[in-house]
């Protein structure tokens, strides 16, 4: 894109963020008096029902890695630039204080403000900011950012998160990186509990890519992943997730949320009477109440067509307070069931088709519906647990050899060493939270 059009685009974006930041400030000012006068009314209800604190204001600090490997994301007008701008606008509605910085071998504060920060996203500007741009140790970058953690502060690190081994024994160096990342996060978790939200993004990339041996490879007109990591108080990260619609960002792909403690009370659940039912059953009164069914009996299998000989039913459940992203909740591979049963689907209630009146009443307290089935002859009690495990997209993103990225297009969406990096963070969180399940429910089943 010509420099004229790029300048025009940036100018229009500047007008947009300027107006939105002004509206945000006016809105906060207008609402301040109202919030103060209604504080007593709010105290009658539970302010944490949505997992968001209504009484705390968090500062935000943004750290953009400006090593040479990041130049390709800011050459020309890219989704990277637009999405970072949009993200900063959204954050301005969550916080009165946003500090922007560059980071590589050191943290370099940028005092000219958000608009100029984004307007100057250019390779030349990256170079002018200083620091050691020739190479960056992602563990050291994370250490610098995590050392800035404060109870009332959210840190936002933007980087390609590529680990540079400099050649040699790749597997050994990646293992060492995992241990080093584990140590970095565990140390900080001992000071105060914080959550980590990993966001995978993608953008156009035109520039030098540095492979595992730090060999520069010219890439032109390709899409490459980068990542946004947020660390902060669990309630602040939940607030961010609920208030910022990441799916509206052009390059958004996936998220992974890790919390220092995730043990949750058993969520509301109930067996539905009719939805996706195969065969028949009755509610077991010993395990049922006015608004729930936790047990079934008098089971008969279906005799209809391809369903003949099978039995199945659905469970409405409320997962709204669970600190897990929607993609994780709806992936049946993340749940553990007895071998006799198959979890066919996990659907948001909002996506369901028509339901009968009895089921509809039960669904009012639920966020999702699980459908299970079996073709077996024995019907053990059904225990469903949501496991704590690495989302599948992390493994899909990982590679241990990126040396052929120029000719192998499957490597363009992968990040060298990323799986080891995430594993180190997971190990640190496991050290403070021994639970291997988010929750478990059980349905009594009597034939």
71-98 mean pLDDT: 94
Residue 262, pLDDT above cutoff 70: no
Three-state secondary-structure class, residue 256? strand
219-224 mean pLDDT: 97
Do 319 and 368 form a contact (C-beta atoms < 8 A)? yes
Residue range 299-309, pLDDT digits in tens: 999 998 888 99
CA distance 212 to 81: 26
Q: Are residues 226 and 146 in the same domain?
A: yes
43 belongs to a structural domain: no
Q: How many domains does the chain have?
A: 2
Q: How confident is the model at residue 122 (pLDDT cuts 50, 70, 90)?
A: confident
Name which of 351, 374, 420, 174 is nearest 279 in CA terms. 374
Q: Are residues 290 and 355 in the same domain?
A: yes
pLDDT, residue 84, reads 96
pLDDT, residue 357, reads 86
Residue 109, pLDDT above cutoff 80: yes
447 belongs to a structural domain: no
Q: Domain end: 368, 387, 406, which one?
A: 387
Q: Are residues 167 and 312 in the same domain?
A: no
Range of the domain at 19: 3-36+52-261
Q: Which residues contact 77 (CB under 8 A, 6 or more apart)?
A: 1, 5, 6, 9
Higher pLDDT, residue 387 or 54? 387
31 belongs to a structural domain: yes
352-375 mean pLDDT: 92
CA distance 61 to 1: 31
The predicted model scores a pTM of: 0.80
Higher pLDDT, residue 50 or 160? 160
400 belongs to a structural domain: no
CA distance 178 to 163: 11
pLDDT, residue 33, reads 36
417 belongs to a structural domain: no
CA distance 237 to 243: 10
Q: Are residues 180 and 313 in the same domain?
A: no
Q: Are residues 124 and 187 in the same domain?
A: yes
Highest mean pLDDT of the ranges 33-42, 323-332, 405-414: 405-414
Q: Domain end: 334, 354, 387, which one?
A: 387
Give the H/E segment covering residue 70: none
323 belongs to a structural domain: yes
Residue range 200-213, pLDDT digits in tens: 999 999 999 999 98
92-108 mean pLDDT: 91
309-324 mean pLDDT: 92
pLDDT, residue 135, reads 65
**The two structure tokens encoding residue 236:** 């602040």
pLDDT, residue 34, reads 36
pLDDT, residue 242, reads 86
pLDDT, residue 20, reads 47
Residue that has been written with the tokens 């429910």 in this structure: 441
Residue range 244-261, pLDDT digits in tens: 999 999 999 999 999 887
**The two structure tokens encoding residue 356:** 């009968």
Residue range 148-188, pLDDT digits in tens: 999 999 999 999 999 877 667 788 999 999 999 999 999 99
Strands (E), 18-149: 59-65, 98-103, 107-110
Higher pLDDT, residue 41 or 168? 168
Do 301 and 313 form a contact (C-beta atoms < 8 A)? no
Three-state secondary-structure class, residue 368? strand
Residue 391, pLDDT above cutoff 70: yes
What percentage of the chain exceeds 90 in pLDDT? Answer: 63
CA distance 241 to 243: 6
146 belongs to a structural domain: yes
Three-state secondary-structure class, residue 382? strand
pLDDT, residue 167, reads 66
Which of 114-123, 287-296, 344-353 has the least mean pLDDT?
A: 114-123
Q: Are residues 125 and 249 in the same domain?
A: yes
pLDDT, residue 263, reads 57
Q: Domain end: 363, 387, 411, which one?
A: 387
Higher pLDDT, residue 137 or 52? 137
pLDDT, residue 32, reads 32
What crossing angle do the helices spanning 79-92 and 3-37 adopt, rounded to 10°? 20
139 belongs to a structural domain: yes
Q: Are residues 114 and 7 in the same domain?
A: yes
Q: Are residues 253 and 340 in the same domain?
A: no
pLDDT, residue 403, reads 94
Q: What is the mean pLDDT of the chain?
A: 85
Q: Are residues 251 and 285 in the same domain?
A: no
Do 411 and 399 form a contact (C-beta atoms < 8 A)? yes
Higher pLDDT, residue 163 or 16? 163
pLDDT, residue 134, reads 66
Higher pLDDT, residue 434 or 288? 288
Q: Are residues 249 and 281 in the same domain?
A: no
Q: Which residues contact 315 (CB under 8 A, 6 or more apart)?
A: 269, 270, 271, 272, 369, 370, 371, 372, 384, 441, 443
Q: Are residues 144 and 205 in the same domain?
A: yes
Name which of 385, 296, 297 is nearest 335 in CA terms. 385
**The two structure tokens encoding residue 44:** 């009658």
Main-chain dihedrals φ then ψ at residue 168, nearest 5 degrees:
85, -155
pLDDT, residue 390, reads 94
225-242 mean pLDDT: 94
Q: Are residues 276 and 227 in the same domain?
A: no
């Amino acid at each position: 894109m010509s420099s004229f059009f790029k300048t025009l685009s940036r100018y229009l974006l500047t007008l947009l963020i300027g107006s939105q930041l002004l509206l945000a400030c006016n809105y906060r000012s207008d609402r301040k008096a109202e919030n103060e006068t209604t504080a007593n009314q709010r105290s009658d209800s539970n302010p944490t029902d949505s997992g968001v604190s209504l009484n705390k204001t968090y500062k935000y600090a943004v750290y953009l890695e400006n090593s040479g490997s990041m130049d390709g994301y800011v050459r020309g007008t890219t989704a990277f630039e637009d999405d970072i701008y949009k993200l900063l606008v959204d954050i301005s509605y969550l916080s009165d204080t946003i500090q922007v910085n560059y980071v590589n071998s050191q943290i370099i504060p940028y005092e000219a403000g958000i608009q100029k920060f984004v307007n100057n996203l250019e390779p030349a500007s990256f170079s002018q900011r200083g620091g050691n741009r020739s190479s960056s140790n992602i563990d050291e970058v994370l250490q610098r950012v995590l050392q800035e953690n404060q109870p009332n502060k959210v840190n936002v690190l933007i980087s390609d998160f590529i680990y540079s081994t400099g050649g040699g024994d790749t597997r050994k160096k990646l293992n060492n990186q995992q241990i080093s990342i584990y140590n970095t996060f565990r140390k900080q978790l001992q000071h105060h509990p914080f959550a980590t939200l990993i966001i995978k993004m993608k953008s156009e990339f035109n520039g030098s890519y540095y492979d595992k041996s730090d060999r520069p490879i010219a890439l032109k007109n390709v899409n490459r992943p980068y990542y946004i990591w947020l660390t902060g108080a669990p309630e602040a990260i939940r607030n961010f997730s609920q208030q910022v619609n990441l799916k509206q960002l052009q390059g958004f792909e996936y998220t992974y949320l890790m919390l220092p403690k995730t043990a949750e009370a058993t969520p509301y659940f109930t067996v539905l009477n009719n939805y996706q039912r195969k065969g028949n059953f009755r509610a077991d009164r010993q395990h049922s109440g006015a608004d729930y069914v936790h047990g079934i009996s008098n089971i008969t299998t279906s005799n209809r067509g391809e369903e003949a000989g099978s039995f199945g039913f659905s469970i409405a459940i409320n997962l709204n307070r669970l600190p897990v992203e929607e993609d994780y909740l709806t992936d049946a591979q993340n749940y553990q069931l007895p071998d006799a049963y198959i979890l066919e689907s996990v659907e948001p209630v909002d996506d369901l088709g028509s339901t009968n009146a009895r089921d509809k009443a039960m669904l009012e307290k639920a966020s999702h519906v699980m459908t299970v089935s079996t073709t077996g002859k024995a019907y053990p009690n059904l225990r469903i647990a949501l496991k704590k495990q690495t989302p599948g997209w992390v493994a899909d993103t990982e590679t241990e050899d990126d040396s052929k990225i120029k000719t192998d297009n499957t490597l363009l969406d992968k990040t060298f060493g990323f799986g080891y990096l995430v594993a180190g963070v997971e190990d640190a969180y496991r050290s403070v939270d021994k639970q291997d399940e988010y929750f478990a429910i059980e349905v009594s089943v009597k034939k």
